[in-house]
Structure 1
Amino acid sequence: MKKSNSMLVLILSVSLSLSLIACGNSNQNNQEESAKQHDHSAMSHEADHSMPTGSEMSMDENKSITDLIDDYLALKTALVQDDSKAAANAGQKLAEATSGLDISTFDAPKQAVIKEILEVLKEHGEHIAKSEIAHQREHFEGMTKDFMDLLTQVGTDRTLYKQYCPMYNKGNGGSWLSASQEIKNPLFGSKMLTCGSVKETISMK
């Protein structure tokens, strides 16, 4: 009887040991699986943060400067064509577009400089919107330097060419920006359409 009891105890002990081992392996497997899932989750989280979120911001910035450049070039084209009405419309659009430029990504001192330039450009645009063509051309030539200063601060979304005509303003000369190297003079229009030359190339950084 004692022998049977000893055998029973031995069998139970072995069974319990096997159960504990199996349970331990199961827990270890669960822990390893959990750790793998945690590692995968952590990698996914890190991957999300490493995605280039700045690309969308750059697109937004380009879009805002794009509007201003488009309006400037539309104004230039209207003056080339001696079209005062189209120039007035482009001047008004440019004045309105100055408020759409997002400068929040720049530091405070640079924001102050950009704001000042935008205010001057807005004034030029508003004057062009209600002036006759000779006065439109004066404001257009005057705004070109400010426009170049703006591009120096915020960059450009395309290559532009600074062009210069020495005959404008009684021989004092005048400049403008163009998207083409071809000379089409907005300061004289049809009176002296090809007067000028390329003085500087402004490229994307």
Structure 2
Amino acid sequence: MVILYSYLEPYLKENKLNTIQSNLVKIALIATLIFTVSCKKTEENATVETERKEITPEKNISSENILKNYFNLKDALVKDDKDKATIHSEYLSNSLNDFNNSISIENKQDGLKEVLSKAIKNAILISKKDIKTQREYFKELSENITDMIAITGTEQPLYEQHCPMYNGGTNWLSNSKEIRNPYYGSQMLKCGIVQREIK
């Protein structure tokens, strides 16, 4: 704005505009300058506010995202698809890691860090094994995810389901009441019962 005024000043003198006109131009330039500075401050404040929101972990990374990856892994095991189970277990371990890293030390609840560490370990092991062993680690992973939900809560209704046949009785979580057994897949697809609903 100062540059603009210095550019216009000789023009104002050259044309011998009267003092009132000259003052009006100065006032208009000052008003424009004030308006520009205030708009810039507003934009800067908005940017800072946006950045604050972006670094709030609960906005971007949540237990709901972990559950989505868990259910995709479960569905791959239901379909006897080792390769998809491998892919989804990698996604799950990444989302668990992100969630663990996103929670500030002050906000960590008792036992959550330990539960997430165990879940990450089991998800990584699933990604490196054959389907039979994937199912064995899925049992432990399901216990970890159930423990996590007990601490973090969930926005969606979940169903803890139970297979009495696998390894002396084993549970898993589902987002549907319908039984689709991840431990036996097509061999015993509907083996199991809904033990409880988690809200």
Q: Distance in 2 between matches of 1:116 and 1:85?
A: 28
Alignment TM-score, normalising by the size of structure 2 = 0.67
Q: For the residues of structure 2 that align with 1:173 and 1:135, how far apart are their CA atoms?
A: 17
Deviation, 1:103, is 2.4
- Number of matched residues? 145
The answer to whether the Cα contact below 8 Å between 2:179 and 2:190 also exists between their aligned partners in 1 is yes
Normalising by structure 1, what TM-score? 0.65
Runs of 4+ in structure 1 off by over 2 angstroms are 102-108
Partner of 1:184: 180
Confirm or deny: 8 A CA contact 1:124 1:139 kept in the other structure. yes
Q: Is the 8 A contact 1:65 1:157 kept in 2?
A: no
From 184, 198, 202, give the equivalent of 2:194. Answer: 198
The runs of 5 or more residues in structure 2 that have no matched partner are 1-52
Per the alignment, residue 48 of structure 2 pairs with none
Verify the 8 A CA contact 1:164 1:196 in the aligned structure 2. yes
CA distance in 2, matches of 1:58, 1:130: 29
Q: In 1, are the aligned partners of 2:82 and 2:130 still within 8 Å (CA)?
A: yes
Give the superposition deviation at 1:165. 0.8
Aligned mates of 2:73, 2:91 — CA distance in 1: 9
Distance (Å, rounded) in 2 between the aligned partners of 1:131 and 1:164: 23
Displacement of 1:106 in angstroms is 5.5
Whether 1:129 and 2:101 are equivalent positions in the alignment is no
**SS state at 2:69 partner:** helix
SS at match of 1:187: coil
C-alpha deviation, 1:67, in angstroms: 1.5
Going from structure 1 to structure 2, the CA distance change for 1:186 and 1:200 (only over 3 Å counts) comes to: same
* Contact 1:68 1:98 survives alignment (8 Å): yes
Q: 2:115 aligns with which of 103, 106, 117?
A: 117
Give the drift of 1:107.
Answer: 4.1
CA contact (8 A) 2:57 2:103 kept: no
**Which blocks of at least 5 consecutive residues in structure 1 are unaligned?**
1-53
